[in-house]
Amino acid sequence: MRGSSTFLVLLGLISAALATDFIYFYPSPDYAPDHVQEVTSTEAKVALAHYLGLEAFEPIGHGLDENEVVYDIGKTGDFLGQGPSSVAVLSMSEEDAREIIPQHSDAIFSTELPSTPSLLSTYAKQASEIYDTVVSSSSPLPQHGSSRLLDIFSLPATPASTAFTREASLLNDFLEFEATDSEKFGSFQITSLSDVAEEYGRDSEEYRLAKITLSLLVESFETTMTRLAIIVSDDASHPKRQQPPEQSPLPPPVASPHEPISAISTCYTSAERCESETDSCSGHGSCVAASKAGHTCYVCACSSTQSNDGRGHTKTTKWAGTACERKDVSSEFVLLAGTTIGLILFVFGSIALLVAAGDQKLPSVLTGGVVNSKKDN
C-alpha cells in the first residue's frame, strides 16, 4: 500500500510538471492548421513572440523554420508602424477557459511551457522597448476614470471581490485606454474567477455575473485588439507552475527596434510609390517613413476626418488599414462594451452588498419606531 501511494504521488508530480498548455490566436492566421498542432516550448515561444510583434527578441533560426506553421506565423508581424495598434496576451486556467472563451474558438498549438507567469513578465519587459504603452497584471495604468465603475465591489471587501475588482478594472481600463497614434501592449493573468467560485460557489449569482463579466471583457479583447494571444494552462495559478523558467544560453545581443518597427509587409520604396499604390492613402492619411530591415521605406499613417451631418454637428471618423481604406470602429465597440460591463458589475456589486447585509440587525433608530398595535386591556 505504501509503495502504491508513493507511486501515485510521483505520478501526480510528473503530470503537474508536464501539464499541457493550449495557445489561441485572434484573429486566427489564414494558414493556421485545421487541428491543434503539438509543438515544443521553444517553437511555441517563437510563434508567440512573432505574433505579438516581439520578433526582435525571438529570431527564427537554428532549425525552427523546419516547422512550417511556426515559420509562417513568424512572418505575420506586419501590423506595427501602420497606425494605432493594440496587442495583448492573456493567461488563464483550463477550468476558467471553459467558462470564458467562446465555444467556437479553437486552439492553434499545444505545448508544455515551463512557467506561464514568467513568460508573461518577459513579454511585458520586451514590449516596453517597442510599444508606447505597456500594461500588465503587476504594472497597471495610472488612475483611470473607468475604474469608478467597479468601486461598488469594495462593499463588502472580501478577498474574492477585491481580486475580481482589481482584475476586471485592469482589463477594462486597458480596453478603454486610447491615445492618438500610439501602440499599446497588455500582459494579463486571469485568476479571479476561481477566487469567486471558492468564496461564493459556482451555483451562486455572484459567480454567474463574474463569469459573464470576464466573458464580455475577453470578447472585447478579441474584437478590438489588433492581435490577441491566449495561453490556457492546466492550472495557470498553481504554485507548482510558478517555477523559474528553464535556463538557456543567451542569444546574441539584438538592437532594440526603432519605431515604426520592421516586419512591415506593405512597405513601399518611395513616398511617390506609396501614394500611387494606396491612392494617397485613400485620402485619409499620408505616407510616412518607416524602418524595414535597416532600410527606409514608406507606409500609410492614417488620420481622422471630420464631416458635417447637415444638422450643424461635426462627425469625426477614424480610419485604419494598410491604405487607410476602412473605418476604425473599435472605439465605439469599446464604449458599448464598457457600458454593458459597467451595468453588470453594478448588479453584481449590489447583490454582493445585499447578501452581506442580509443577516445584520436593523439599527435601533429603525426598530425603536415600530408601534405596538396591541392595546392594553
Least Cα distance to 32 among 24, 43, 40 occurs for 24
Q: Is the pLDDT of residue 284 over 60?
A: yes
Least Cα distance to 119 among 71, 58, 193 occurs for 58
Gyration radius of the chain over CA positions: 25
Q: Is the pLDDT of residue 29 over 80?
A: no
Q: Is the pLDDT of residue 369 over 90?
A: no
Sorting pLDDT into bands at 50, 70 and 90, what band is 125? Answer: very high
Between CA 154 and CA 163, with CA 160 as vertex, the angle to 5 degrees is 70
Mean pLDDT of 203-222: 87
3-class DSSP state of 31: coil
| pLDDT score recorded for residue 304 | 77
Name the least confident of 82-86, 137-141, 153-157, 206-210.
153-157
Q: Spell out the residues 6+ positions from residue 377 whose beta carbon is closer than 8 angstroms to its own.
A: none
State the number of CA atoms in the 13 A half-sphere of 86 facing the CB: 21
pTM surpassing 0.85? no
Q: Is the pLDDT of residue 188 over 90?
A: yes
Provide the mean pLDDT of the chain: 71
Residue scoring higher pLDDT (289 or 148): 289
Contact assessment for residue 49 and residue 89, using Cβ atoms and an 8 Å cutoff: no
| pLDDT score recorded for residue 311 | 65
Q: What is the pLDDT of residues 34-56, one digit of tens each?
A: 678 888 888 888 888 888 888 88
Q: What is the pLDDT of residues 241-266, one digit of tens each?
A: 444 444 444 443 333 343 343 334 46
